[in-house]
């Protein structure tokens, strides 16, 4: 690899790490740590490997065939099922986008002290202007790089010097203590859902088309996504460990988005607090942009419209209107004053229900040699793909009953 390629890989990995965590990961990882200590760390590993397996697959399909995920959903599931999937995914995208927008406003509030309600429209305006002005690649980089502020949690986790023996135990699935079995299972579903949210694969595969991936990019981009997501998973570990050490013994319920930032302050002082807030701001801001675009990508790909940031807005008018409309609707949802943390929990749990319909077409097409030729799934991709599909079906059935039985993890 040339020096230029090494740099490109490094930059890609950095933006994947920064872009991995969103409000769903922040909420579920800290709450899981505050409730069950290190005991759920193994779930993060399962979730991260899952998103790597399916991102790799849909990235490969996009690079080889030029077709993004929702094209495949429509082709394989047919009009009716695809339309049902579209409606479900749009509801989840909107809920998630609203939660992330709320998260951005909370960060602004913590940084400025101004009233939350006033900062919501400002947050949406800034996100819309940024998305309008910046080309696709720079959007990825801006939010990805500044999201790296979250690395402060990795430093905090190490500095807190947890009982590493116990931490290691958390990576082995097994019996649990503290809290009921139902709540434990609710967090298993929530953590998997937060790691494998469908909007990530929608955005990832459409992004591959936006970046004009071809077969020559396959290896380079695989390395980027696999390492980037794997390292991003470490941020999830860090959040859970920090919450386990600081919140669990004190009985603190991290009911606010700012709570994890206070953990960084406790460990690393004012600099820690500032880095944590900047990291959270750009992580949730980036995810707000990703969800609004994912919604527009899906709509355009279902109906066959022109789409993408690669087009001038007036050349893809319906796509452009779609992402603007999703931001506008998200603004309305957040302005009702509904708690963004609650909204996050619901959006993650509902997204789990929509997962099978998103992932099955990817698995089918990645195996179709008329599409993929020699780049069709190998044995490893299929074993992992089928295993994760079974996991997804199981958690999609369990998600809503667990949400109701545990009253949203309250026990």
Partner 1 sequence: MSKGTEVDIALGILDHQLVDADGRNCGKVDDLEIAGLASGSPEVVEIVVGGNAWKTRGRLGRLAAKLSGNAVHVPWTEVDSVSSVVQLKRPAAELRLNRGDERWAGLIRRLPGS
Applying CB under 8 A, the residues found at the interface with partner 1 are 65-67, 71, 74-75, 78-80, 82-84, 132-133, 300, 302-307, 312-318, 320-321, 371
The CB-of-309 to partner 1 minimum distance in angstroms stands at 13
CB of 199 to partner 1, least distance (A): 21
Other CB atoms within a 10 A radius of the CB of residue 8 amount to 15
- Give least dist CB 323 to partner 1, A: 12
Q: Nearest distance from residue 79's CB to partner 1, in Å?
A: 4
Cβ distance to partner 1 smaller for residue 215 or 271: 215
How far is the C-alpha of 353 from the C-alpha of 400, rounded, in Å? Answer: 8
Q: Greatest CA separation found in the chain? A: 58
Distance in Å, CB of 66 to partner 1, minimum:
7
Distances (CA, A) of 218 to 61, 221, 369, 384: 10, 5, 17, 19
Rounded CA gap, 54 and 44, in Å? 16
Q: Is 282 helix (H, G, I), strand (E, B) or coil?
A: helix
- Do 229 and 328 contact (CB within 8 A), yes or no? no
Residue 189 has a CB neighbour count (10 Å cut-off) of 24
| Cβ neighbours around 175 below 10 Å, total | 7
Distances from the Cα of 109 to the Cα of 106, 118, 312, 388, angstroms: 5, 9, 34, 39
Q: Could you write out the DSSP letters of every residue in 26-58? A: HHHHHHHHHHHTTTTHHHHHHHHHHHHHHHHHH
Question: Would you say 34 or 57 has its CB closer to partner 1?
Answer: 57
> If 0-12 CB within 10 Å is exposed, 13-18 middle and 19+ buried, where does residue 387 land?
middle
Q: What is the DSSP string of 346-359?
A: HHHHHHHHHHHHHH
- What is d(CA 59, CA 70) in angstroms, rounded to the nearest whole number? 13
Cβ proximity to partner 1, 336 vs 370, nearer residue: 370
Rounded to an integer, what distance in angstroms lies between the CA atom of residue 3 and that of residue 30? 39
């Amino acid at each position: 690899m040339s020096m230029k390629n090494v740099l490109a890989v490094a930059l890609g990995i950095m933006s994947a790490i920064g872009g991995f965590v969103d409000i769903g990961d922040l909420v579920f990882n800290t709450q899981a740590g505050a409730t069950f200590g290190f005991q759920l760390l193994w779930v993060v590993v399962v979730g991260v490997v899952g998103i790597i397996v399916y991102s790799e697959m849909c990235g490969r399909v996009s690079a080889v065939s030029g077709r993004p995920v929702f094209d495949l959903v429509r082709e394989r599931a047919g009009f009716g099922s695809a339309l049902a999937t579209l409606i479900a995914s749009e509801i989840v995208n909107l809920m998630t986008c609203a939660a992330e927008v709320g998260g951005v406003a909370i960060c602004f509030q913590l940084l400025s002290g101004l009233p939350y309600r006033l900062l919501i429209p400002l947050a949406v305006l800034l996100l819309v202007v940024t998305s309008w002005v910046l080309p696709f690649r720079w959007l990825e980089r801006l939010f990805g790089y500044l999201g790296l502020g979250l690395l402060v949690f990795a430093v905090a986790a190490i500095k807190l010097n947890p009982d590493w023996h116990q931490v290691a135990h958390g990576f082995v699935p097994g019996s649990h203590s503290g809290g009921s079995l139902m709540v434990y299972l609710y967090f298993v579903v929530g953590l998997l859902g937060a790691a494998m949210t469908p909007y990530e694969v929608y955005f990832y595969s459409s992004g591959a088309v936006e970046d004009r991936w071809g077969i020559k990019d396959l290896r380079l981009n695989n390395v980027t996504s696999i390492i980037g997501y794997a390292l991003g998973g470490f941020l999830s570990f860090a959040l859970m460990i920090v919450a386990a050490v600081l919140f669990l013994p004190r009985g603190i319920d991290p009911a606010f988005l700012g709570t994890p930032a206070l953990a960084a302050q406790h460990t690393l002082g004012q600099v820690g607090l500032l880095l944590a807030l900047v990291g959270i701001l750009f992580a949730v801001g980036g995810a707000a942009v990703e969800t609004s675009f994912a919604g527009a990508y899906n709509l355009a790909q279902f109906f066959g419209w022109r789409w993408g940031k690669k087009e001038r807005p007036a050349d893809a008018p319906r796509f452009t209107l779609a992402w603007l409309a999703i931001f506008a609707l998200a603004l309305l949802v957040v302005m009702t004053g509904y708690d963004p943390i609650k909204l996050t929990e619901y959006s993650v749990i509902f997204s789990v229900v929509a997962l099978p319909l998103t992932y099955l077409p990817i698995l089918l097409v990645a195996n179709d040699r008329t599409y993929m030729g020699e780049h069709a799934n190998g044995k490893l991709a299929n074993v992992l793909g089928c295993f994760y599909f079974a996991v997804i079906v199981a958690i999609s059935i369990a998600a809503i009953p667990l949400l109701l039985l545990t009253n949203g993890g309250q026990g």
